[in-house]
Structure 1
Amino acid sequence: MIGSKLKKITLFISLLAVLLIISGCLAEMRGQKITVQKRVGEDEIYEDYKEVTQKKQVQKAMDIVKNANWETTKKDMMRSADFQFQFPFKNSSEGKIASYSLWLSPDDEYLEIVTDSDKYVKLTKPDSEKLYEILIEEKLN
């Protein structure tokens, strides 16, 4: 009789542990995505294009953006951005989202990015190629 109760308690504790581990993994994955929107026509109208949810790809894109040589300057671009992308700030309990506007250079060789906080960067060609492939799933030029 005691052995049967002990087995039930052990089973209950095991199931509880598995549920806690799974919920922890889901919480870690939640928010780790990049939302990409594509400009429609010549106006500033954007439609959902895709979501990048593969953890390695998201991290690689975040590293490229984070490690870029950003300039703090108001940059007026000649046309509306080709794409917009967003991802949540890592470790943000407030649910903040980082938003970026992305332009392809006229010769499609590199990417230019502007943030809402007036930061600008022209990515290197290798970083442009990597980021474009992650966000758009196509080769740049």
Structure 2
Amino acid sequence: MLKITKYLMICIVFFSIFMTGCSNEANSSGNKIIVQKRVGEEDQYELFKEITDNDVVKKAAELLEDVRWKNGVVLMTQPPHYKFQFEDDNQSIGSNYDLWISPNKDQVELVIEEQEKYIQLNKNQSAELFEFVTESQLINSNE
């Protein structure tokens, strides 16, 4: 009887730890996206948008989790067009994303500096993420 109780207690502890980890992961995207837009040609930014639609925040987070990031430091010729991060109750969650628009204005490139990761999204992913973050169409951007 003692062995069964001990086994049951261990299972409950592991299950509790597992469930806590899963619930934190599901909420790691936060409840809003804070977007900053570059001002002029310098590395200065102003608040552009605060995205609070839960569906949009969730879809943007899922898109970023599903892409295959490349490791490495990337040097760009100009500062990012946009910067964004996920927040939960005015507290930053996760990484800061730097976003560049390609010269053809049909793709975006993202860098996570603190993790030294880079990705150039395909055209569909680019259009989708850009619309999530800016609430406008990529091809119509004024960058």
TM-score of the superposed pair, with normalisation by structure 1: 0.72
Q: CA RMSD in A?
A: 1.8
The AA in structure 2 aligned to 1:112 is E
Q: Which residue of 1 aligns with 2:108?
A: 111
Amino acid at match of 1:113: L
Q: Deviation digits for residues 11-39 of structure 1, max 9, x if unmatched? A: xxxxxxxxxxxxxxxxx8xx410000000
Give 1:40's aligned amino acid. Answer: V
Q: CA deviation at 1:88?
A: 4.0
> Which of structure 1's runs of 4+ aligned residues deviate more than 6 A?
none
Largest Rg, 1 or 2:
1
1:96 to partner: Cα distance: 3.9
- Give the superposition deviation at 1:69: 1.4
1:121 and 2:119 correspond: yes
2:24 aligned residue:
none
Q: List alignment gaps of at least 5 residues for structure 2.
A: 1-26
- Looking at structure 2, the residues matched to 106 and 87 of structure 1 have their Cα atoms a distance apart, in angstroms, of 26
Cα gap change, 1:95/1:43 in structure 2, threshold over 3 Å: closer, same or farther?
Answer: closer
Q: Name the SS of the counterpart of 1:86 in structure 2.
A: strand
| Aligned residue number for residue 48 of structure 1 | 47
C-alpha distance in structure 2 between counterparts of 1:66 and 1:75, whole Å: 20
Paired residue secondary structure (2:99): strand
CA contact (8 A) 2:80 2:100 kept: yes
Q: Which runs of 5+ in 1 are unaligned?
A: 1-27
Question: Are the aligned partners of 1:88 and 1:98 in contact in 2 as well (CA < 8 Å)?
Answer: no
TM-score by length of 2: 0.71
What count of residue pairs does the alignment treat as equivalent? 108
1:138 partner letter: S
Q: Identity over aligned residues, as a percent? A: 36
User: Which of 95, 98, 123 is matched with 2:95 structurally?
Assistant: 98
Matched, 1:82 2:111: no
Tell me the distance in 2 between the aligned counterparts of 1:64 and 1:71: 15
Letter in 1 for 2:108: L
Q: What's the CA shift for 1:57?
A: 0.2
